Structure 1
Amino acid sequence: MIIFNRIKTNLSLIFSKDLCKELPTIAKNIKKYREKLDISQDKLSKLADIAYNVIIKIESGATLNPTIETMAKIAKGLGVSIDDLMKYIMESEKNLVVKNTQNGKGVFAIKKFGKGEIIFEFHGKFFTYKELPTPYNGVEDHYVQLGENLYMGPSGGIDDYFNHSCSPNTGLKINSKKVFLIAVEKINEGDEITWDYSTTMDENDWEMDCECRSKNCRHRIRDFKYLPRDIQQRYLSLGIVPKYISRNF
């Protein structure tokens, strides 16, 4: 279930670069754990089974958004969880901007992203189904299903403005209670960043009209099980369908 903002405004919201700089980055976290273990970058590359120059680029900041698969290997090499390694990531926010769209607000890229790159980490309070607010305020509340009985609510930040598209360029990857938005294709500067809400929906009691206007628009946002088979298979192959849904397909 996700209910998103349709309020039109003339204001644009840009997240502060200075704020992001005050927070630990991926590079700082990797270096911190590596130095704690007293191992070199070369040693870490061998432990993680990834190329030495990949470690160098990430730690130097040349690669701001390594893939979640790369981060999982590095976390394993450092002997920490991927949650510990990634929980302070805010670097990506300076690459995003919230501005007006034809349907209200949306999030746009202000740099290029490659397929598989981490775009953003979602933040918000967790709810069970019974804890969801009643009644829903359809123009202000933002809820996304993350499990059979687990939902994430609005954060009050940039993650409340990622719109749905039936032709998305990103998808969600859920690791425990960590939620990452991952590029599923190349994203250019100026592109709106969207994901298909149906990829996490498995409820039967909520749906909404779609106004994405993409050439593949289905005109209705419904549970994953109602998607055409070819679309289901594509999303499953991209790894953006959570286990509580994918195990049934």
Structure 2
Amino acid sequence: VFREAFWAHMLVVIAVPVSFWPTWQSVWTDRARERSPAWGLWTFGDLATLLIAVRGVELGVAELGYVLVELLCHTSVWLMIGLATINPLRSFGARRGGLRIFDRYRASNNLFKVGENHLGKAVFAAAPFAEGDMLIEFTGRRFRADQVPSLMRGNGDRFVQVTPDHYMGPSGRIDDLVNHSCAPNAGLRFTDDGIFLVAVRAIAPGEEISWDYSTTLKESNWHMICQCRAPECRRVIANFDALDPDRQEWFRGRNLVAPYLRRRDDVAVRRKAS
């Protein structure tokens, strides 16, 4: 069909980014659907192939086009997964002050373990953590509030309110299993880079990780029975306004409430500081 190999090569080159379009769309919606290490290895593999080809016989644009486009496509997905900012180091991952290759996406078995408590599955520390340590990033697809009731399939589904009108759905990862406590050892911190679970005090190995679900809740008509068994248990998990005013200030003072639950003067101060 093609009288010249050049046009055959060009057709393949055009087909490559077209085939990547569904992946780009998926990652743009939720970058947690893919894993950084695989795309990083593909990127380095394409780069090695390109370098070998260039060092070999003299090749034209048509011959090198396929490898070059593959490299660009794999790199773009890798960066989309790893970058929430323009900082390239995020695609490798930084944790607790030190850079570790792919640590951000590495299985966290060395830091946490999934076990059982009186409610079912729970997340336990497998290493010691200090107050202020970043523990787990919360990820998941976002849904409008009016979509959530039809998506609930049971107690295993975790939806976290992240804006006045949106909830974050289950990610299929360890963040789905972190339980509520009225006396938590961690709290959710909303940042420009994402939503992170942060230790509010020192946590010893073997201790269950927990956070207070009320710190993201704005809806006034939602509540659930609490069975956390903490001495301070409130018996009912409700919205943030239902908390004792002193407890509200405790969370606000540590920046462990959703942005829409902060006082207006707090928001103004944070914007001025940034």
- Compute the TM-score of the two structures, normalised by the length of structure 2: 0.59
Deviations 1:2-28 (A, max 9, x none): xxxxxxxxxxxxxxxxx998798xxx9
Structure 2 counterpart of 1:241, from 257, 263, 267: 257
Specify the alignment match of 1:81 in structure 2.
Answer: none
Q: Does 2:148 correspond to 1:132?
A: yes
Write the distance in 2 (CA, Å) between the matches of 1:21 and 1:134. 34
Q: Residue 204 of structure 1 aligns to which amino acid in structure 2?
A: S
TM-superposed CA distance for 1:209, in Å, is: 0.4
SS in 1 for 2:124: strand
Write the distance in 2 (CA, Å) between the matches of 1:177 and 1:203. 25
TM-superposed CA distance for 1:133, in Å, is: 4.2
TM-superposed CA distance for 1:221, in Å, is: 0.2
Q: Residue 162 of structure 2 aligns to which amino acid in structure 1?
A: L
Specify the alignment match of 1:181 in structure 2.
Answer: 197
Specify the alignment match of 1:77 in structure 2.
Answer: none
Q: 131-140 or 172-181, which moves further after superposition?
A: 131-140
- Distance of aligned partners of 1:167 and 1:234 in 2 relative to their CA distance in 1, 3 Å threshold: same
Specify the alignment match of 2:96 in structure 1.
Answer: 65
Specify the alignment match of 1:144 in structure 2.
Answer: 160
Larger RCO: Structure 1 or Structure 2 (Cα < 8 Å, ≥ 6 residues apart)? Answer: 1
Write the distance in 1 (CA, Å) between the matches of 2:165 and 2:263. 16
TM-superposed CA distance for 1:243, in Å, is: 1.5
**Greater percentage in helix:** 2
Q: Does 2:240 correspond to 1:209?
A: no
**Would the aligned equivalents of 2:226 and 2:236 in 1 still touch at CA under 8 Å?**
yes
- Distance of aligned partners of 1:178 and 1:124 in 2 relative to their CA distance in 1, 3 Å threshold: same
Specify the alignment match of 1:160 in structure 2.
Answer: 176
Specify the alignment match of 2:120 in structure 1.
Answer: 104
**Would the aligned equivalents of 2:95 and 2:104 in 1 still touch at CA under 8 Å?**
no
Specify the alignment match of 1:90 in structure 2.
Answer: 105
Specify the alignment match of 2:45 in structure 1.
Answer: none
**Would the aligned equivalents of 2:95 and 2:103 in 1 still touch at CA under 8 Å?**
no
The two structures, once aligned, show a CA RMSD in angstroms of 3.2
- Compute the TM-score of the two structures, normalised by the length of structure 1: 0.65
- Distance of aligned partners of 1:152 and 1:167 in 2 relative to their CA distance in 1, 3 Å threshold: same
Q: Residue 89 of structure 1 aligns to which amino acid in structure 2?
A: R
Report the number of matched residues.
182
Q: Residue 65 of structure 1 aligns to which amino acid in structure 2?
A: R
Deviations 1:50-79 (A, max 9, x none): xxxxxxxxx9x9x9424xxxx9xxxxxxxx
Q: Residue 185 of structure 1 aligns to which amino acid in structure 2?
A: R
Specify the alignment match of 1:228 in structure 2.
Answer: 244
SS in 1 for 2:171: coil
Write the distance in 1 (CA, Å) between the matches of 2:231 and 2:225. 16
Q: Does 2:215 correspond to 1:199?
A: yes
Write the distance in 2 (CA, Å) between the matches of 1:177 and 1:151. 17
Specify the alignment match of 1:10 in structure 2.
Answer: none
Moved over 3 A (4+): 19-24
**Would the aligned equivalents of 1:64 and 1:92 in 2 still touch at CA under 8 Å?**
no
TM-superposed CA distance for 1:203, in Å, is: 0.4
**Would the aligned equivalents of 1:64 and 1:91 in 2 still touch at CA under 8 Å?**
no
Q: Residue 120 of structure 1 aligns to which amino acid in structure 2?
A: I
What is the aligned-residue identity percentage? 36
Q: Which has the higher Rg, Structure 1 or Structure 2?
A: 2
- Distance of aligned partners of 1:91 and 1:225 in 2 relative to their CA distance in 1, 3 Å threshold: same
Specify the alignment match of 2:43 in structure 1.
Answer: none
Q: 227-236 or 126-135, which moves further after superposition?
A: 126-135
TM-superposed CA distance for 1:33, in Å, is: 4.4
SS in 2 for 1:89: helix
Write the distance in 1 (CA, Å) between the matches of 2:253 and 2:107. 25
Specify the alignment match of 1:76 in structure 2.
Answer: none
